[in-house]
Amino acid sequence: EVEEREEFDVAVVGGGPAGSTAAALIAKRGHRVVLLERERFPRYQIGESLLPATVHGVCRLLDVSDEIEAAGFQVKRGGSFRWGTSPDPWNFLFALSPQLSGPTSYAYQVDRMTFDDILLKNAARHGVDVREEATALEALRGPDRVTGVRYTGPDGAAREISARHVLDASGGAGRLSRAVGGERTYSEFFRNLAVFGYFEGGGRLPGPDRGNILCAAFDQGWLWYIPLSDTLTSVGAVLHRDQAARIQADREGALRDAIDRCEIVRDFLSGATRVTEGTYGEIRVRKDYSYANSRFWTPGMALIGDAACFIDPVFSTGVHLATYAGLLAARSVNGVLSGDLDEARAFGEFEARYRREYAVFYEFLSAFYDMDQQEDSYFWQARKVTGSENLTSMEAFTTLVGGAFSGERALVDASAVAERFSTSSADLADAVARTGPAQTRSGERMNNLFGAPVVSEVMQEMNSIQRRGVTGPGTGEAPLIEGGLVPSADGLSWSEPDA
Ligand code: FAD
């Protein structure tokens, strides 16, 4: 039985990166926001390897950069890959991307308990009414829109909240997303499954690559190897979905077997011990995580983060897409609540930009899987893409994997934007060549990677947007979507573009 009904401007469901980002950016505009989170934080979550766009773009808008920096997370300068036919690992560094070069050409490997807790507490500090151990049960509906949410608090009593906007940021497992209508479509391509655990005392890559994520392909899939501190490492195997039964029956054996099949990770872990106690002591399995909803919003409600879509663990795009969606949704909500924008126009912009970022990464990640040429492997043969020809460059690659692809100034540090104009592609080719023979080969392979014409097309568009962004008047950004809106001067809402 319902005891009370409170009123808010906005109700956000879920306190992960998507929810905390949206809630804080709406509260910054002075609106009344409640955030319902089922767990008590800090809580465990996978998704530890971040991109610079989150760390230097979104975290800056959230006023939380100093705190993130002070948390002492492992600095990540890029990624190292034992991928494709070459036995040598090769690196990409965020610094190779003109959009990301400069003092902000790094991200972090984070313990998500700490990272998500910092973002949630930051939302509370911005005035969000954060309620933990509060589980949303369903969206409330009026005749033509979602009007709020029903939830239970720690005492188990059901309560209702009326809100002009509900944002579902409850991750992949929730059912609330159904309230927007449409359906969830699972990817035919990324039918993967992950089994993962934690190790103490694993080896490290040399020198500045020490904090890189290492992704290593082997005959049955690939492993991630993420240094979370000097001694703690997150290790996960991404395998074919068809092996679910075998893996569920013996998680530890399945992870061990994957490690034993992958020379570089096996060697790194030869002197390490698996953590068997506490939060990191469990071996976890995740599957059915590659999907997108056919609708991202309905009047009164929008989906952000994993509630809307997720692609695949390779390339660490999850938290980027989640925080980017949080930013886009906040702009749309703020635009509507201030009376400046009609809901359909504001959320049309949200969905168009969000889908575009998702789609480009989807194509890119597919192409990346396609790079591995293990002819006799069931896993790799199932991940062949057709039509990967004329492609872009290393430059495009590092920009994309750095999460600065959208070309949004909000996601790229201002100094990096200025600096990119001094980096010519010749400098870039130089930088690639300087990193050694293995890197050069990978550079060549990269030239073949961007098969989808959409990638190079949109990269060009991004460049012109960025150029106007630095030199142009007003907010400096042209609409990303034809006929669309541009970010407002404070970055927290949308405006009509200058005529
Ligand atoms: P979440 O982080 O899942 O947060 C959702 C929150 O909602 C949770 O706190 C939950 O308790 C709460 N909640 C759920 N239901 C309710 C309810 N009914 N009421 C109230 N609260 C509720 N991403 C990366 O960036 N880098 C990586 O290296 C990476 N590796 C990955 C590896 C694997 C195997 C997988 C599966 C994913 C990986 N990801 C990675 C993706 C990343 O985990 C997610 O994209 C990211 O956590 C999404 O954030 P979110 O805020 O949308 O959701």
In the block, which residue shows the tokens 């949109």?
458
Instruction: Name residues contacting ligand 1 (CB within 6 A).
Output: 13-19, 36-39, 43, 45-50, 135-136, 169-171, 174, 194, 236, 286, 289, 305-306, 310, 313, 316, 318-320, 322
Residue 51 has pLDDT above 80, yes or no: yes
DSSP of 262-300, one letter per residue?
A: -HHHHHHTTT-EE--SSGGGS-EEEES--EEES-SEETT
- Look at residue 367 and tell me whether its pLDDT is greater than 70: yes
Sign of CA dihedral 58, 64, 69, 74: negative
The structure tokens listed for 63 are: 């006023």
pLDDT at 255 over 80: yes
- Whether the per-residue pLDDT at 196 is higher than 60: the answer is yes
Highest mean pLDDT among 186-190, 237-241, 449-453: 237-241
Beta bridge mates, 309? 292
For the stretch 408-462, pLDDT in tens is 655 654 333 323 322 333 333 333 333 333 434 444 444 444 333 444 443 443 3
Nearest CA to ligand 1 atom 3: 171
Instruction: Find the 16 Cα to ligand 1 centroid distance in Å.
Output: 6
pLDDT of residue 375: 67
Specify the pTM: 0.87
Dihedral sign, Cα of residue 265, residue 271, residue 277, residue 280 = negative
Is residue 129 helix, strand or coil?
Answer: strand
Segment 337-361, tens digit of pLDDT: 999 999 999 999 999 999 988 887 8
Q: Token digits for 200?
A: 């103490």
Q: Higher-confidence residue: 417 or 76?
A: 76
The ipTM assigned to this model is 0.99
Segment 80-90 mean pLDDT: 78
Lowest mean pLDDT among 79-93, 100-114, 446-460: 446-460
Please give the helix or strand (H or E) that residue 420 lies within, else none.
helix 414-420
Q: Which atom of ligand 1 is nearest to the CA of 46?
A: 43
